[in-house]
Amino acid sequence: MPLDNDTYDVKMPSLEGKAWAGANEDWVVYIGYNCEWELVNVYTHHRVPLPKILDCPEVEHTGILRTFNYDHGDCRLQKIAICRVPDRSWGYRNACVVAIFYKHVVVLTSTPPWILLKNQFLYTDVYCDAIQYKGLVFAATTRGTVFGWDPHSFGPVNIPPPILENFYNQGGDDDGDDHEHEDEEGPYT
């Protein structure tokens, strides 16, 4: 379908009073004011309720849709990443979602409850996205820092940036040479 076609608003009366918080493939996560979160398939309308985030120890609801209280401070829900969509052959019980808060990451796998992934290294960065890969959860910050957790063991690991081998300087130097050529000594690296 071309992207320049007209768009249409679609209303699902059963989702009245809920807000969209994330999507993957044909599944969308909706959140309600009563802390009830659910996965909804936009084509089949199949619904998979998620455990309440309040089941996660130390998390309290403030009465505001995306704002929760953690450790005596507000934490705002940024998005919910659906890392693995539910499958009918598993009875829709194999979903994996990661709730990304301003300063916290909470994961829900096919074996509830929610697991709060704590990070003693995060001071000024804000989480913006997350994925699950081979049982590990990776969360990126707005500064490009990536942290990784095994949800069933202690603490995050700061993922270092990749080592760039054969990196060529294309910038130039004080002599006006831009290093884009080889001279008698060989290529610049």
Give pLDDT, residue 22.
92
Q: What tens digit of pLDDT does each residue of 90-124 get?
A: 898 889 999 998 878 888 876 678 888 877 776 67
Name the nearest CA neighbour of 19 among 55, 67, 60.
67
Structure tokens at 82: 């659906």
pTM, 2 dp: 0.72
User: Which pLDDT band holds residue 189 (cuts at 50, 70, 90)?
Assistant: very low
Judged against a pLDDT cut of 70, whether residue 179 lies above it is answered with no
Closest CA to 41 of 108, 74, 1, 86: 86
- Is residue 184 scored above 60 in pLDDT? no
What are the tens digits of pLDDT across the range 31-90? 987 778 899 998 898 999 998 887 777 778 787 788 888 776 678 889 999 999 999 998
Query: Cα–Cα distances in Å, from 147 out to 26, 84, 112, 130, 138?
Result: 28, 19, 22, 9, 6
- Percentage of the chain exceeding pLDDT 90: 19
